[in-house]
Amino acid sequence: MRLCLVLSLLPGLAAAEIIVPVRTIRAQQIIAPEDVMVLDKTVPGAVSDPADAIGQEARRALYANRPIAPADLGPPALVDRNQAVALAYSAGPVQIVTEGRALSRGGLGDVIRVMNLSSRTTVAGEITAQGMVIVGLAP
């Protein structure tokens, strides 16, 4: 009776399903529905919903039949390292747009470092859906 009470209070100890790769998935590869399968196994912290993995990019190599952690996945990269990007700064009605060079790769919402090609200054900015990098305060 005491064990049943403890199990009902700790949902992580109940039987659950996890998502595992069916084959090795390389870093920076987008995960497709045929790349993963569901296992009836309990692993704390592992991804359990296929929707959380499908369409995401592997941040590191994922090996067959090993649990996938949320930190192993991220949004697909929109900007690659050394790619030319539009660099924008907005403050009220003023918007300045110039060309920059990405110093790392990243996806939607990631903050990356970018070199302003006009001034050779390195700044940090957030990647937008269009692949533009926004620096400073947005209006």
Residue 43 has pLDDT above 70, yes or no: yes
> What does pLDDT average to over the chain?
87
- Residue 136's pLDDT is 81
**pLDDT tens by residue, 69-128:** 999 998 899 999 999 999 999 888 988 999 999 999 998 989 999 999 999 999 999 999
Phi/psi of residue 69, each to 5°? -90, 150
pLDDT at 15: 55
Q: What gap in Å lies between CA 109 and CA 129, rounded to an integer?
A: 8
State whether 96 and 128 are in the same domain. yes
Q: Which two tokens stand for residue 52?
A: 């959380």
pLDDT of residue 90: 84
113 part of a folded domain: yes
Beta bridge partners of 101: 84, 115
Q: What is the mean pLDDT of residues 38-67?
A: 93
Q: Is the pLDDT of residue 1 over 60?
A: no
Give the residue with greater pLDDT, 12 vs 134.
Answer: 134
Domain residues for the domain of 44 are: 15-73
Could you tell me if residue 10 is inside a domain?
Answer: no
Where does the chain show beta strands of DSSP type E?
17-21, 36-40, 57-58, 73-74, 77-79, 84-91, 94-102, 106-107, 111-116, 122-127, 133-135
CB 132, CB 113: distance < 8 Å: no
| Rounded mean pLDDT, 39-49 | 91
CATH number of the domain encompassing residue 119: 2.30.30.760
> Based on the domain organization, do 64 and 105 belong to the same domain?
no
Whether the predicted pLDDT of 138 surpasses 90? no
* Predicted pLDDT of residue 42: 87
Continuous segment of H or E residues that includes residue 97: strand 94-102
